[in-house]
Structure 1
Amino acid sequence: MASTPTLFVDVWSDFVCPFCYLETPVIDQLRNAYGDAVEIRWHAFELRPEPTALLDPNSDAIADSWENSVQPLAAERGLTMRLPPVAPRSRKAFETAMFARESGRFEVVHRALFKAYFEEGIDIGDTDALLDIAATCGIDPEMLEEALDEGTYTDLVIEDEEFATKLGVSGVPFAVLSREGAPGAEPPPPIALRGAAPIQHFEAAIERLFPDGFPAG
């Protein structure tokens, strides 16, 4: 595979969105298929930032969505998911992931946050819970706590969300596939995929971006 990325996949998601977790196996398939030739870039998108009202996890609408949409897709994609008993804010979770990125632990923390919420029902809006999760991933909890208290990464979360607004993102998961142009040529326009798109949609987008075939490096 290419030693430098030739395909870029930018994904906006929220740790409290079940369909965002359901998209992670598809992203894993992309990474496994294309290796270093693809660069996955995750971005923050809070579905319910302050002061937006939080959902009631015990509502009939949530239960129906899980029974009819979430659980069937989870079974199809090989994920174990349980309806969480809490509906937290996700900003601190995003700040935790961004802290982890600087120490090269983003991927493991990113996955651990999703699993903690959707498999164990942990309140990922709680700072102590975030410190515990991060510590199991090799992150210094004292340094993380200081960063969360000081809001060191708050602006980065907001920047991600402001960029999403400029792109017209109103829901997640939302992915944008793009590539650089050949020397002296304009690259093809980026392709957006909305919702928990299957791998076939990504493959079709890649074929459009690379009509002569994806370079193997």
Structure 2
Amino acid sequence: MTSPKLWIDVWSDFVCPFCYLEVPVIDQFQNAYGDAVEVRWHAFELRPEPTPALDPDSDYLHETWESSVYPMANERGLLLRLPPVQPRSRKAFETAFFARESGRFEAVHRAIFKAFFEDGIDIGDTDALLDIAATCGIDPESLEEALLGDELTDAVIEDEEFAKKLGVTGVPFAVLSREGVGDQEPPPPIALRGAAPIQHFEAAIERLFPDGFPGA
């Protein structure tokens, strides 16, 4: 009988600093439990068309970064700078989804976050995304052609529609779940809202695997 595996489904947005700040927590979790954990990242646009984009110079953004983002970045060991632009993120998601087809999702996913929050690059710009993807081994011509079609857009929208059914209204939003053992039904999935610390993931594991997690 195979050991139960833990799935972590994470909805996030490339323009959300708290989503980037959740990446090292997910990394820590995966490093601790290895192949017993599978992480699946999903798209969630906080401000899709026609929702107005945030003003990069707004008091709201500056206050949020000073009071919450920078302290958490220091705590989690990430370098973040308030970006000079606030782009749409759909094309960035499409780029990451394209990279998944060739097994380069993780590299592109991190590179997009880093480009925006460390280098201030406009990740809503197709040429910028082509450059980012190329540094991760993606053929820019193939990506550019794919971005002109509807298949990647449909995949992003499908992710977001699923999030709506789950009642997701903000990100990061993680759902931890497991399969059952034998004829037993698995425990209900556990949702973690916001940039949850590692302790919240550990507590969820204890609830999902009361007899001990097989990856521990």
| Map of 1:204 onto structure 2 | 203
Cα distance in structure 2, aligned partners of 1:161 and 1:128: 25
| Map of 1:61 onto structure 2 | 60
Instruction: Name the TM-score, length of structure 1 as normaliser.
Output: 0.97
Q: Kindly provide the CA deviation profile for residues 31-72 of structure 1, in whole angstroms up to 9, marking residues without a partner as x.
A: 100100000000000000000000001001100000000000
Cα distance in structure 1, aligned partners of 2:84 and 2:161: 30
Q: Secondary structure at the match of 2:40?
A: strand
| Map of 1:162 onto structure 2 | 161
| Map of 1:118 onto structure 2 | 117
Whether the aligned pair in 2 keeps the contact of 1:123 and 1:129 (CA below 8 Å) is: yes
Shift of 1:199: 0.1
Q: Which runs of 5+ in 1 are unaligned?
A: none
Q: Residues 46-85 of structure 1: matches in 2 within 5 Å? A: 46-85=45-84
| Map of 1:127 onto structure 2 | 126
Q: Residues 16-35 of structure 1: matches in 2 within 5 Å? A: 16-35=15-34
Instruction: Name the TM-score, length of structure 2 as normaliser.
Output: 0.98
Cα distance in structure 2, aligned partners of 1:108 and 1:48: 24
Cα distance in structure 1, aligned partners of 2:29 and 2:151: 32
Shift of 1:149: 1.2
Shift of 1:151: 2.9
Shift of 1:150: 1.5
Shift of 1:5: 6.5
Cα distance in structure 2, aligned partners of 1:74 and 1:145: 33
Q: Secondary structure at the match of 2:137?
A: coil
Residue type matched to 2:95 in 1?
T
Whether the aligned pair in 1 keeps the contact of 2:3 and 2:214 (CA below 8 Å) is: no
Whether the aligned pair in 2 keeps the contact of 1:8 and 1:39 (CA below 8 Å) is: yes
Q: Which runs of 5+ in 2 are unaligned?
A: none
Whether the aligned pair in 1 keeps the contact of 2:4 and 2:179 (CA below 8 Å) is: no
Give the 3 Å change call, closer, same or farther, for CA 179–77 of structure 1 in structure 2: same
Give the 3 Å change call, closer, same or farther, for CA 187–75 of structure 1 in structure 2: same
| Map of 1:41 onto structure 2 | 40
Cα distance in structure 2, aligned partners of 1:216 and 1:77: 24
| Map of 2:8 onto structure 1 | 9
